[in-house]
A and B are shown apart, each in its own frame.
Chain A
Amino acid sequence: MNKSTFIKTADSVTSIRADFIIALLPAIIWGAVRFGMHSVYVMAAALLGAALSHILFGFFTEGKFILPSLYTVFCGLSFGLMLYQNTSVLLAAAGGALSVFIVILLGGEGKCPVFAPIVARLIIFQLLPYRINKPERLPLEILFSGELPSDSTFDLVLGMTSGIIGGVSVIALLVGLLYLLIRKTADHKTVLSYIAVSVALSFIFPTFEGRGMESAIIELLSGEILFVSIFALSDYSSAAKSFIGKIACGAACAVLTFVLRKNGFVSESVFISVTTVQIVAFCAKLIYSKAKEIKYAN
């Protein structure tokens, strides 16, 4: 007798992967419109790099050509969207490939404890900083240099400012988030926790003395927090699973981001904090499991 379940939900792994890619579309479209053709080449190169890496890995390990999965597409696109518009196309391709390589190296989809495109970005930015072509006056950097940026809140919300290709338009990101929430693919707890704690910290300890709310808004809208909290912290492979885990993860990322920003890591703070929290959470889980095993063995 079979005890298995005979009917299943319509959602499949493919549909979940597709949902994340669909949620990226508004950011992709706005990035292309705002930054022009070179940004399209950057995103395409990252995607191709990721796909090629997947195909080559399949060829060398299994001796056959394997079509890239939608998760590979998501990794490639996410990496492309985290670059600046004038980044070298070759670097974008290399980063896309590195993202997929990291996923495979750390156990594959569903096992990888970190959001691979962010790790790839951190590595690439450390190894080849001169190929990134970072814009000179990012709103967040202006704020931390002691001035108030000239960009209005409307510019920041719409995405009429400079920053990473996928992170400039708050509206595009919120449309993506809304789609994920309607489809129940992403969970709002981590996103809300990250945003709420970030805003609270920026408000209580404002960068620009006496203008706490303004500082908080600029830090939230121009600092890649939204992009990372929606796509990196909601990524099903590396996201926390329990209620407390989700809240704690978002809050820890926000605190670390705040500390890093205050200590000079302005543009990279979000990426460093998310990766650090994911690594710490993974290690804590391992230690907890081992401790439990030892406890039961005794």
Chain B
Amino acid sequence: MLNFKGGIKPDAHKYTKNTEVVHFPLPSSVRIFAYGDDISVNRGDEVKIGDSLTVNHLAHSSVCGKVTDISNGYVTVTADEKDREAVSASAVPFNKKLSAASFEDIYSFTASKGICFGDTFLHKKLEINHTRAKILLVNCAETAPFLCTAYNTLASKKKEIVYGTKIIMRALGIKKAAITIEKTNRKALKEMKALLESTANIEVISQSSKYPFESPLVLKRAFLNKYVTQNKDIKTDNIMVISCEEASALFEAFKTGLPMVNKLITVDGDAVNSPHCLSVPIGTSLSEVLEFCEFDETFSDKIIEGNPIMGKLCSPDSSVSKETNAIIALSKRFFYNSTGCISCGRCRSACPVRLDPAKLLEEKTFSAKCINCGCCAYICPARLDFSVISTNREVTANE
């Protein structure tokens, strides 16, 4: 089993676990972020689902309708009342046999589908790992509180995850891959092992349910410590990590030809009366999503995009983006007053990269090693704000 020193085990609050994924009704309009890419459509243009909105295909329309606004790097598409679900003519499945496909074929196809689940687009990851990756890890861990998107993806799309894994292995010429699943998710572990029984080059490995196993760096180090102790040639740079959602989305894009226009998100929190795991068109307003889940505005104190440990505060006026994996609405119950540091050392014990957060905080400095996981801030009994030591989000994101 994969494990690492430090980390935390926060209360799960996984209320949408084992619930069916609900498809959010197509909204009347969507506001889609262009990711800094040059926008290729003009106001008044007609677009269909899957039509590219930018030059480099980083953003696609998630509804069929008319471009009504282009501002601040966002494209607003107002849905056509009659034919909201018309799909783009460019949504053509991958037309080559996988065994005959080259890196360039897979890379260019992936790049045209705008698949992104974190800070980096999948085709960028392929580009970075093209010559150096020797091992592929498919991370199915979801240890942050409330979040159930990876869990539900793993429960319902095991084959898609395996096929997605094979596509990446083919593209990068990787001979060995492993799908890592939390040991507490026994059913998924058993089913995945049965599915891969005859596949020699893809292993199923269990991992502890400690946060932040979602972090690629933490997973890589845990894998290296456990399995690659003898082989000094393999370093963290030689391991490519993708999430199970990325693997599944890649296969679906190959199968249907449709770019990434929907996002599976968890909507939860104690200010949400009807928590859901939703498949939402990208660009949908958060207020619409929250309304769908019976969000109690009077009860809520803060709306968080992402997990409640390292997510960010957001406004209901913003929209669902490719990075959004959860919307968590919390009440005032989750408000904490800071007191002085009592030097208990818990932050140090919890840090998965073995830093001394209390010392860094005292010195008001940050470490380039910090992976911004928030373990120190979570575990601190004095409720100190450690955000000052984790200002290097960009450095660690690419690690």
**Which of the segments A104-112, A124-132, A200-208 contacts the partner chain?**
A104-112
Tell me if A263 is interfacial: C-beta within 8 Å of chain B.
no
- Contact across chains for B383 and A16 when beta carbons are under 8 A apart: no
Cross-chain contact A7 with B345 (CB below 8 angstroms): no
Cβ of A193 to closest chain B Cβ, rounded Å: 16
CB of B195 within 8 A of chain A?
A: no
Q: How far is the CB of A70 from chain B (nearest CB, A)?
A: 11
CA distance A185 to B10 in the complex (A): 17
Q: Which one, A7, A8, A16, contacts B344 given CB within 8 A?
A: A16
B378 CB within 8 Å of chain A: yes
Name A69's closest neighbour in chain B (CB-CB): B339
Contact indicator A236/B344 (Cβ below 8 Å):
yes
- Which B residues touch A110, using CB under 8 A? 340-344
Residues of B within 8 A of A11 (CB): 379, 381
| Chain A 39-79: CB-based contact to B (< 8 A → 1; otherwise 0) | 00000000000000000000000000000000100000000
* A3 interface residue per 8 A CB criterion: yes
**B342:A16 contact, CB within 8 angstroms:** yes
CA of A108 to CA of B382, assembled, Å: 14
Q: Mark B144-178, 1 if CB is under 8 A from A, else 0.
A: 01000000000000000000000000000000000
Tell me whether A6 and B334 are in contact (CB under 8 A). yes
> Which residues does chain B contribute within 8 Å of A242, judged by CB atoms?
348
Which listed residue (B312, B348, B378, B382) contacts A7, Cβ 8 A? B378
Q: Is A150 an interface residue (CB 8 A)?
A: no
Question: For the complex, is B22 an interface residue (Cβ under 8 Å from A)?
Answer: no
The answer to whether A4 and B342 touch across the interface, beta carbons within 8 angstroms, is no
Is A298 in contact with chain B by the CB < 8 A criterion?
Answer: no
**Residues of chain A within 8 A of B10, CB atoms compared:** 7, 9
Q: Within residues 332 to 391 of chain B, which ones have a CB less than 8 A from any CB in chain A? A: 334, 336, 339-345, 348, 356, 372, 374, 377-383, 385-387, 390-391
Chain A residues within 8 Å of B383, by CB: 8, 12
Residue B224, interface by CB 8 Å = no
Given contacts A2-B313, A110-B340, contact A7 B334 (CB under 8 A): yes
Looking at the assembled complex, report how far the CB atom of B317 sits from the nearest CB atom of chain A, in whole angstroms. 14
B345 touches A241 (CB 8 A): yes
Partner of B311, one of A6, A12, A241: A6
Q: Find B309's partner among A1, A6, A241 (CB 8 Å cutoff).
A: A6
Is A239 part of the contact surface with B, judged by Cβ < 8 Å? yes
Taking CB as reference atom, which chain A residue is nearest B301?
A: A6
Instruction: Mark A132-153 against chain B: 1 for CB-CB distance below 8 A, else 0.
Output: 0000000000000000000000
Q: Does B310 contact A (CB under 8 A)?
A: yes
* Most B-side CB within 10 Å, residue of A2, A6, A109, A111: A6
Cα separation A142 to B343 with both chains bound (whole Å): 40
B145 CB contacts on chain A under 8 angstroms: 7
Residue in B closest to A237 when the chains form the complex, CB atoms: B343
CB proximity of B350 to chain A, nearest CB, Å: 9
A109 vs B343: C-alpha distance when bound (angstroms): 8
Flag if B381 contacts A13 (CB, 8 Å): yes
Query: CB distance B340 to A9 under 8 Å?
Result: no
How near does chain A come to B267, taking the closest CB pair, in angstroms?
A: 15
Cross-interface CB contact of A6 among B330, B339, B343, B345, cutoff 8 Å: B330
> A5 and B309 in contact (CB under 8 A), knowing A13-B382, A15-B381?
yes
Does B308 have its Cβ within 8 Å of any Cβ on chain A?
A: yes
CB atoms of A239 and B345 under 8 A apart: yes
- Interface residue? B302 (CB, 8 A): yes
Q: Is the CB of B343 within 8 A of A111?
A: yes
Complex contact A3–B387 (CB within 8 A): yes
CB contacts (< 8 Å) of B348 on chain A: these are: 241-242
Complex interface bits, B294-316 against A, C-beta within 8 A gives 1, otherwise 0 = 00000000101000111111100
CB–CB A8/B380 < 8 A:
yes
B304 pairs with A236, CB closer than 8 A? no
CB-CB under 8 A from B372, the residues of chain A are 3
Q: Are B378 and A2 in contact (CB under 8 A)?
A: no
In the complex, are the beta carbons of A13 and B336 less than 8 A apart? no
Q: Is the CB of B340 within 8 A of A1?
A: no
| Nearest CB in chain B to that of A185: its residue | B344
Q: Contacts A8-B383, A13-B339 given: A3-B344 contact, CB under 8 Å?
A: no
Contacting pair B381 A5 (CB below 8 A): no
Complexed CA–CA distance, A3 and B312 (Å): 6
Kindly provide the distance from the CB of B177 to the nearest chain A CB, expressed in whole angstroms: 33
A5 adjacent to B313 (CB under 8 Å):
no
Write out, one digit per residue, whether chain A residues 1-35 have a CB within 8 A of any chain B CB (1) or not (0).
Answer: 11111111111110110000000000000000000
Closest chain-A Cβ to B283's Cβ sits at a distance in Å of: 20
- Tell whether, in the assembled complex, residue A2 and residue B334 are in contact, meaning their CB atoms are under 8 Å apart: no
A239 to B340, CA, bound (A): 17
Given contacts A8-B380, A110-B340, contact A236 B312 (CB under 8 A): no
Which of chain B's residues have a CB closer than 8 A to the CB of A6?
302, 304, 308-309, 311, 328, 330, 334
The residues of A with any CB-CB pair to B shorter than 8 Å are 1-13, 15-16, 71, 108-111, 236-237, 239, 241-242
Q: A1-B314, A9-B8, A237-B343 provided; 9 other pairs, C-beta below 8 A?
A: A3-B387, A3-B393, A5-B308, A6-B304, A6-B308, A7-B334, A109-B340, A110-B340, A236-B344
Residues of B at the A interface (CB closer than 8 Å) are 8, 10-11, 145, 302, 304, 308-314, 328, 330, 334, 336, 339-345, 348, 356, 372, 374, 377-383, 385-387, 390-391, 393
- 20 residue pairs from A and B, CB less than 8 Å apart: A3-B390, A3-B393, A4-B385, A4-B386, A6-B334, A7-B145, A7-B309, A8-B380, A9-B10, A10-B11, A11-B379, A12-B382, A13-B381, A109-B342, A110-B342, A110-B343, A110-B344, A236-B343, A237-B343, A242-B348
Q: Which 5 A-B pairs have the closest CB atoms?
A: A5-B377, A110-B342, A241-B345, A3-B387, A236-B344
